[in-house]
Amino acid sequence: MNKITTLLFAVALVWGVTESAFAGNPDRQGEAGAAQLLLNPWAESAGLHSMTTSFVSGVEAMRINVAGLSRINKTEVQIGHGRYLEGTDILLNGLGVSQKVGESGAIGISLMSVDFGDIPVTTTDQPGGTGSTFSPSFFNLGIGYSHTFENKISVGVLFRGVSESIADVNAFGFALDAGVQYVTGENDNFKFGIALRNIGGRMQYGGEGLTTQGPSPNNGGYELTFNQRAADFELPSMLNIGLSYDFLITGGTHRITVLGNFTSNSFSQDQVGGGIEYSLKDFFMVRGGYRYEFGAGDADTFDDPIYTGLSAGATIAVPLGKDTPESRASRFAIDYAYRTTRVWNGTHNIGVRISI
């Protein structure tokens, strides 16, 4: 497949996902559920406020832009942990594996869960608590595939199952992600990406927890069990468009990457932002970014967002072999990120990954 054909294919896919994403109605802001799909457990991309649409790769691509899944050496394993809004005791946990398939493709699987801790059980008769606790189970499992054409254009698709439940109430749904990445320039300096995320059917809660006991009609003298139907809800679909440029200094020993990103949310305000990342031989990286949410500060219309917009992070990578002209050396890396918040004490992310 020549470059013109692959470029036309990518443009067609981009056009299709763009048309779908901008079909949302801004009057529906705040009506979506399954907010866990908006949370990021991976520290490397969190350090840039998840704005790495144009160059994210490997396991993290399954959360940001699945097209980057195939831009790995051979195999990548990653574990992520986040302390969401420090002080709320909400934890994020992620586990993912990506594996090269053939010369240009890759398949991956990722699992993310949200830990809310133990929540006291309260009732109308005992509003102070019954003495027992419960813990909601929120998790999502994604399986994705990506293919790179001539090392320039990558396309990918991911299917994700979404589950939210407590002991007697649950909801389950499916979501679809699709994305494109394009790389060009003398040293592949310029990168462009577009990703459509969380497209799927409506979800609805059900289970015994929604039933109530009540008297039978017409004074029958006995009680009946009534099932209450919960309202269904949509997934928080979004469209991400990003670009970046790598400035290579002294033959690539030092790399400075600048990036920009725009996010169109179907059920919340749109966002725009940018960031910068410095890398020393890909052994040490430090990064920071700022993301602005439209409507922030307009007290007459919108509440201020939780995040103030600032983010920062760092990576230390230890080589496990030698770089060769054919492939990049295996690496063990530790990532950390912090995002400031208007209330509570920010969100911390830490993760480890092995690339071979």
pLDDT per residue as tens digits for the range 180-222:
999 999 999 999 999 999 999 999 999 998 988 888 787 767 8
Residues of the chain with pLDDT below 70 are 1-29, 220, 297-303, 323-328
Compute the distance between CA of residue 273 and CA of residue 293 in angstroms, rounded to an integer.
Answer: 9
pTM of the model: 0.89
Compute the distance between CA of residue 60 and CA of residue 64 in angstroms, rounded to an integer.
Answer: 7
Output the pLDDT for position 322: 74
How would you write the chain as a 3-class SS string?
Answer: CCHHHHHHHHHHHHHHHHHHHCCCCHHHCCCCCCHHHHCCCCHHHHCCCCCCCCCCCHHHHHHHCHHHHHCCCCEEEEEEEEEECCCCCEEEEEEEEEEEECCCEEEEEEEEEEECCCEECCCCCCCCCCCCEECCEEEEEEEEEEEEECCCEEEEEEEEEEEEECCCCEEEEEEEEEEEEEEECCCCCEEEEEEEEEECCCECCECHHHEEEEECHHHCCCEEEEECCCCCECCCCEEEEEEEEEEEECCCCEEEEEEEEEEEECCCCCEEEEEEEEEECCCEEEEEEEEEECCCCCCCCCCCCCEEEEEEEEEEEEECCCCCCCCCCCEEEEEEEEEEECCCCCEEEEEEEEEC
* Cβ(51)–Cβ(259) below 8 Å: yes
Compute the distance between CA of residue 281 and CA of residue 269 in angstroms, rounded to an integer.
Answer: 38
Q: Which residues pair with 208 in a beta bridge?
A: none
Compute the distance between CA of residue 272 and CA of residue 275 in angstroms, rounded to an integer.
Answer: 11
Output the pLDDT for position 297: 66
Compute the distance between CA of residue 275 and CA of residue 244 in angstroms, rounded to an integer.
Answer: 9
Output the pLDDT for position 5: 55
pLDDT per residue as tens digits for the range 104-147:
999 999 999 999 999 999 988 899 889 999 999 999 999 999 99
Domain regions of the chain by residue span: 3-355
Output the pLDDT for position 245: 98
What percent of the chain is predicted at pLDDT more than 70? 88
Output the pLDDT for position 11: 53
Output the pLDDT for position 14: 54
The CB-based long-range contact list for 270-278 (8 Å cut-off, 24+ gap) reads 270/294, 273/49, 273/51, 273/309, 274/51, 275/48, 275/49, 275/51, 275/311, 277/48, 278/254
Output the pLDDT for position 12: 56
The superfamily (CATH) of domain 3-355 is monomeric porin ompg (2.40.160.40)
Residue 347 CA to its chain's centroid (Å): 15
* Tokens, residue 85: 């809004």
Output the pLDDT for position 79: 98
